[in-house]
Amino acid sequence: MIVTLIVFTVALILSLVFIYYAITEKDLLKAAVFSAGQSVSYAILLHTMAAPDIAMTYLAVSVGLYSALLVFVISKTERYEE
């Protein structure tokens, strides 16, 4: 049980750090990479919470499809915010 609680705490704090860096970053490509990092830490959280179906779906959608979609959109519009 103690290992599960440690994994929870580490994954939660990591997700908070990634979200803060993603929202306050001016370079949009770096923000997309931080968003992918936040998705990985949420996937670790979801697997430890005994929901393997959701972890598989979330990993494929958020790390795979959203990152690719954001890179396509950034390459067609501007890279730096304001």
Partner 1 sequence: MEGFVYVLFIVVLAVNALLSIYGIVYRRSLVKKLISLTILSDTVFVSIILVGFIFKYPVVPPVYSGVGGEEAYLLEHGSDPLPQALVLTGIVIGLAVNALIAFGVIQVYRLTGTTDAKRAIRVLVEEVMEE
Partner 2 sequence: MSRRTIGLIVLLVGVVSIALTTFIVFNPEAPKSVRELGKYYIANTTRDVSSPEAVTAIVWDYRGLDTIYETVVLYMAIVGGLAISTTTRKVSLKTRTGLTSIARTGTRIIVLLIATIAFAIALHGHLTPGGGFPGGSALAITVMLIVPVYTLQSLLDQGVSSTRLIAVRGLALTALGLVAILPVIKGLEAVTNLKFYPSHVAGMLISGSLWFYNLFEFLAVASGFAAVALYLSIPEEVYREEIKGGE
Q: Which of 20, 66, 13, 21 is nearest to 39 (CA)?
A: 66
- CA distances for 80 relative to 6, 33, 54, 63, 67, angstroms: 37, 14, 33, 22, 17
Tell whether residue 24 is a contact of partner 2 (CB under 8 A).
yes
Give the nearest distance from C-beta 74 to partner 1 in angstroms: 6
Tell whether residue 4 is a contact of partner 2 (CB under 8 A).
no
- CA distances for 32 relative to 2, 40, 56, 68, 71, angstroms: 33, 13, 20, 9, 8
Tell whether residue 4 is a contact of partner 1 (CB under 8 A).
yes
CB neighbours of residue 2 within 10 Å: 6
What, of partner 1, partner 2, none, does residue 29 touch, CB below 5 to 8 Å by kind?
none
Q: Which residues bind partner 1 (CB under 8 A)?
A: 1-2, 4-5, 8-9, 12-13, 15-16, 19-20, 22-23, 28, 31-32, 35, 38-39, 42, 45-46, 49-54, 57-58, 61-62, 65-66, 69-70, 72-74, 76-78, 81-82
